[in-house]
């Protein structure tokens, strides 16, 4: 019995007998740097401490015996060590291993600009795109304020780093968009077909892009559509130029939605009010409709379908350059139908799947006619064969069906491997007068790519793409590599290298099938420093073009093509965005320098292409006046003159330069403003935004290049149809009280 009592007493007094243990030490990372703020604890007890700014800690515990010490700190893998607590002081030297995390990890920025609210590292948000003066909510126009792009105003497209417009491809939810712009009209750039409000994220890559994409020598624009809208509403837009109405309906459980929109554009009032250089004998009219449905799957995936249908017509007349008495009448009727169905799904065990499919068809009916002063058709005699060529009809059709699958597997931490393939079936036909040419093309590609995070500070993306094209019976393998290294808290350096292939344009393939892929190699180095309010980027690149398509004239009216062209582009670009220095003003500046030459098409030798200006700069500034509920935006763009050439054939069927020069510098000052009277009107049944803009406020007369008469004696400047462009419109959302959003959003 006595022994028992002593035993009990011993237990009760255990702590007293042995006293406390002091635990002290240091917490460091695997590079020997102190980890402050780490939590050190004796497992299953209250005892522990937090490491100080030098990583040191010290605490006392009355626990006894074998225990686990745990150390945790966000960004590091949890640490656990067994210790004996027996009253003797313990000193622990703890090394924590970094845990790769998306928030902390370096992102590869070489060559790419991200835009979107959801993306980390976003340079421009979707709202920024809509409120950039001069863009009038056209995505391409807003992107032209970023470095690497040219201020080309006479044709649509993004001309990136010495590349032509067709070297940039657009993708929506992973699949290619065949006709991203309204059909071309000679010397007038057309808008993009897709509104920026359809998308939650935009990545604009000016080079060195991922192996998931191909067939673009210069650049890709990746658009990611929104998942589910926030709320149901009915929207209307009214302007002297167009009217539109539509609705978005979100299911009560917020798991699915559908929407439908219709619009009609007619610029007849506008051309009465603002004088245009061309004479519109058929007023441009655009009918458009779109529909969508989206739903969340059980596993958290997303299925999205979007379709848009458009029909447009226009006809315009200009003075003929070869004959003062004649006019050129150009008419275009376009029908376009675009469909995109995508399915994103989580397959479990770290697997993710992205499936995309698309079908689009585009038909242009073009007629070009010589007319006399009373607008009657003219048939020049055989002696004037160069004038005869100005009477023609052209029916073009482009159909594209495609499927794409991407599978991704997470590999420990945030490293990932993804692979997949795509297949495109394209049917193209071109009916020139009575001659019909068709082109059927099967394109398939496979790719594999891995994101490797060696540490949070060092990441690599290594990819390989293989492509096969039936129409030219050629295949290729294109490696892509990029690296990013974090040099400081907000700063990083990225490098990118890649091989890019693109098949020749249809217009060339209709005449010559014996062509190979055109090719570009990119080398990019980028430095970026980004804080919450400021972004600074500088990027230098070298791009080598190989196997560009050259025109081989057979006689004065017929040409063949080969791959004997080449070229290069090199340059440096700066971007600075600042929301902090000037109170309540958000501005960005971009500057691009490009040195580029290419020998392609009918160029006689290596020449700076006519779309490339050596220096380009933009300044964009925005300010919102909360009290007035209105905002104003300015954009100033500048570019040095672009070269122009007139090539003619000599008697030996060789091109020579008859005339060349440089256009004057380009300046454009654009202004826009928005007025949002509904802000803060609680209970309001509609949300109204007024928007007005003037492009080229100062009325500067831009010259994009020159057109030449057949004999080369007369040259005529290529200018926009009117110097300034005015817009005013009103956008209303009904049915939902969105003023509450404004309140909640501005807490």
d(CA 383, CA 379): 11
334-352 CB burial, b ≥16 within 10 A, e <16: bbbbbbbbbbbbeeeeeeb
Q: Are the C-beta atoms of residues 241 and 264 closer than 8 Å to each other?
A: no
What is the Cα gyration radius of the chain? Answer: 32
Nearest approach in angstroms of CB 624 to other proteins is 8
Here the tokens at position 730 are 């009103």
Here the tokens at position 401 are 């069906």
d(CA 113, CA 526): 12
Q: Are the C-beta atoms of residues 347 and 353 closer than 8 Å to each other?
A: yes
- Three-state DSSP at 197 gives helix
Measured from the CB atom, the residue of 37 and 65 that comes closer to other proteins is: 37
Measured from the CB atom, the residue of 5 and 605 that comes closer to other proteins is: 5
Nearest approach in angstroms of CB 104 to other proteins is 9
Measured from the CB atom, the residue of 133 and 176 that comes closer to other proteins is: 133
Measured from the CB atom, the residue of 117 and 411 that comes closer to other proteins is: 117
Note the residues at the interface with other proteins (CB under 8 A): 1, 4-5, 8, 11-12, 37, 39, 41, 43-50, 52-53, 74, 103, 117-118, 122, 125, 127, 230, 532-533, 579, 586, 624, 626-627, 629, 679-682, 739-740, 742-747
Nearest approach in angstroms of CB 298 to other proteins is 22
Q: Are the C-beta atoms of residues 637 and 151 closer than 8 Å to each other?
A: yes
Nearest approach in angstroms of CB 59 to other proteins is 10
Q: Are the C-beta atoms of residues 701 and 723 closer than 8 Å to each other?
A: yes
- Beta-bridged to residue 248, according to DSSP, are 233, 259
d(CA 617, CA 636): 8
Measured from the CB atom, the residue of 279 and 490 that comes closer to other proteins is: 490
Question: Angle at CA 603, nearest 5°, toward 570 and 610?
Answer: 55
635-666 CB burial, b ≥16 within 10 A, e <16: bbbbbeebbbbbbbeeeeeebeeeeeeebeeb
Measured from the CB atom, the residue of 78 and 479 that comes closer to other proteins is: 78
DSSP annotation string for 265-306: EE-HHHHHHS--SSEEEEEEEEEEEEEEEEEE-TTS-EEEEE
- Beta-bridged to residue 68, according to DSSP, are 82
Measured from the CB atom, the residue of 325 and 682 that comes closer to other proteins is: 682
Measured from the CB atom, the residue of 629 and 667 that comes closer to other proteins is: 629
d(CA 286, CA 657): 40
Locus of tokens 């990027």: 539
Measured from the CB atom, the residue of 555 and 581 that comes closer to other proteins is: 581
Here the tokens at position 343 are 């399915």
| Cβ contacts of 618 within 8 Å, gap of 6 or more | 144, 145, 146, 588, 589, 590, 635, 636, 637, 638
Nearest approach in angstroms of CB 75 to other proteins is 9
DSSP annotation string for 488-510: SSSEEEEEEEEEEEEPPPHHHHT
Here the tokens at position 207 are 């080079």
d(CA 266, CA 260): 21
Nearest approach in angstroms of CB 544 to other proteins is 38
Strand bridging mode 21-29 / 90-96:
parallel
Measured from the CB atom, the residue of 127 and 454 that comes closer to other proteins is: 127
The number of beta carbons lying within 10 Å of the beta carbon of residue 704 is 21
| Cβ contacts of 432 within 8 Å, gap of 6 or more | 392, 393, 394
First to last CA, the chain: 72
d(CA 26, CA 40): 10
Nearest approach in angstroms of CB 70 to other proteins is 8
Measured from the CB atom, the residue of 68 and 379 that comes closer to other proteins is: 68
Measured from the CB atom, the residue of 324 and 682 that comes closer to other proteins is: 682
Measured from the CB atom, the residue of 459 and 679 that comes closer to other proteins is: 679
Nearest approach in angstroms of CB 6 to other proteins is 12
Nearest approach in angstroms of CB 134 to other proteins is 21
394-418 CB burial, b ≥16 within 10 A, e <16: ebbbbbbebebbbebeeeebbbbeb
Nearest approach in angstroms of CB 41 to other proteins is 5
Measured from the CB atom, the residue of 16 and 682 that comes closer to other proteins is: 682
Nearest approach in angstroms of CB 50 to other proteins is 4
Nearest approach in angstroms of CB 8 to other proteins is 6
Nearest approach in angstroms of CB 597 to other proteins is 41
Nearest approach in angstroms of CB 125 to other proteins is 5
Measured from the CB atom, the residue of 557 and 625 that comes closer to other proteins is: 625
The number of beta carbons lying within 10 Å of the beta carbon of residue 85 is 22
Nearest approach in angstroms of CB 745 to other proteins is 3
């Amino acid at each position: 019995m006595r022994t028992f009592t002593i035993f009990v007493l011993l237990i009760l007094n255990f702590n007293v007998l042995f006293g406390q243990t002091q635990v002290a030490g240091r917490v460091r990372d695997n590079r020997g740097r102190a980890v402050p703020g780490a939590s050190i604890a004796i497992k299953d007890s209250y005892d522990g401490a937090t490491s100080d700014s030098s990583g040191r800690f010290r605490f006392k515990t009355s626990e006894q015996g074998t225990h686990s010490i745990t150390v945790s700190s966000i960004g590091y893998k949890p640490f656990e060590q067994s210790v004996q607590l027996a009253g003797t002081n313990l000193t622990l030297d703890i090394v924590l291993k970094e845990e790769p995390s998306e928030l902390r990890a370096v992102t590869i920025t070489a060559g790419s600009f991200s835009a979107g609210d959801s993306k980390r590292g976003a340079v421009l948000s979707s709202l920024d795109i809509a409120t950039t003066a001069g863009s009038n909510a056209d995505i391409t126009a807003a992107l032209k304020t970023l470095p690497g792009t040219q201020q080309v105003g006479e044709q649509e497209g993004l001309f990136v780093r010495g590349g032509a417009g067709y070297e940039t491809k657009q993708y929506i939810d992973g699949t290619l968009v065949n006709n991203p712009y309204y059909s071309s009209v000679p010397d007038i750039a057309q808008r993009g077909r897709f509104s920026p409000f359809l998308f939650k994220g935009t990545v604009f890559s000016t080079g060195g892009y991922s192996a998931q994409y191909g067939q673009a020598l210069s650049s890709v624009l990746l658009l990611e559509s929104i998942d589910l809208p926030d709320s149901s509403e009915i929207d209307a837009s009214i302007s002297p130029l167009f009217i539109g109405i539509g609705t978005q309906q979100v299911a009560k459980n917020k798991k699915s939605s559908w929407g439908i929109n219709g619009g009609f554009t007619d610029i007849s009032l506008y051309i009465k009010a603002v004088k245009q250089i061309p004479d519109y004998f058929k007023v441009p009219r655009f009918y458009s409709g779109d529909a969508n449905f989206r739903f969340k799957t059980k596993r958290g995936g997303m299925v999205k379908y979007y379709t848009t249908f458009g029909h447009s017509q226009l006809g315009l007349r200009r003075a003929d350059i070869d004959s003062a008495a004649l006019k050129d009448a150009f008419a275009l009727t376009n029908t376009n139908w675009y469909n995109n169905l995508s399915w994103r799904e989580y397959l479990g065990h770290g697997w993710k799947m992205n499936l995309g499919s698309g079908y689009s068809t585009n038909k242009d009916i073009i007629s070009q006619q010589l007319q006399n002063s009373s607008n009657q058709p003219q048939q020049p005699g055989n002696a004037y064969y160069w004038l005869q060529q100005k009477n023609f009809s052209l029916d073009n059709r482009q159909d594209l069906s495609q499927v794409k699958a991407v599978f991704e597997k997470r590999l420990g931490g945030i490293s990932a491997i993804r692979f997949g393939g795509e297949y495109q079936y394209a049917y193209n036909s071109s009916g020139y007068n009575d001659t019909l040419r068709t082109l059927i093309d099967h394109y398939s590609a496979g790719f594999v790519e891995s994101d490797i995070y060696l540490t949070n500070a060092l990441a690599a993306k290594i990819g390989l793409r293989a492509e096969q094209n039936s129409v030219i019976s050629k295949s290729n393998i294109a490696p892509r590599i990029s690296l990013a290294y974090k040099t400081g808290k907000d700063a990083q350096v990225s490098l990118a290298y890649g091989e890019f292939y693109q098949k020749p344009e249809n217009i060339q393939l209709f005449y010559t099938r014996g062509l190979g892929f055109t090719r570009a190699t990119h080398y990019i180095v980028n430095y970026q420093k980004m804080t919450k309010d400021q972004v600074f980027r500088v990027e230098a690149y070298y791009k080598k073009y190989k196997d560009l398509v050259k025109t081989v004239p057979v006689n004065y009216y017929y040409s063949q093509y080969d791959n004997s062209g080449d070229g290069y582009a090199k340059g440096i670009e700066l971007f600075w965005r600042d929301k902090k220095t000037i109170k309540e003003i958000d501005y960005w500046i971009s500057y691009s320098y490009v040195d580029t030459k290419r020998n392609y098409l009918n160029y006689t030798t290596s020449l700076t292409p006519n779309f490339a200006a050596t220096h380009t700069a933009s300044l964009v500034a925005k300010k919102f006046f909360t009290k007035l509920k209105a905002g104003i935006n300015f954009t100033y763009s500048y570019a040095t003159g672009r070269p122009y050439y007139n090539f003619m054939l000599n008697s030996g069927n060789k091109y020579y330069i008859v005339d060349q020069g440089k256009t004057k510098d380009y300046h454009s000052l654009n202004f826009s403003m928005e007025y949002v009277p509904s802000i803060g009107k609680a209970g309001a049944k509609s949300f109204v935004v007024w928007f007005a803009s003037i492009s080229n406020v100062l009325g500067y007369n831009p010259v994009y290049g020159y057109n030449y008469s057949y004999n080369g004696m007369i040259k005529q400047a290529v200018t926009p149809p009117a110097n300034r462009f005015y817009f005013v419109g009103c956008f209303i959302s009904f049915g939902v009280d969105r003023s509450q959003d404004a309140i909640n959003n501005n807490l």
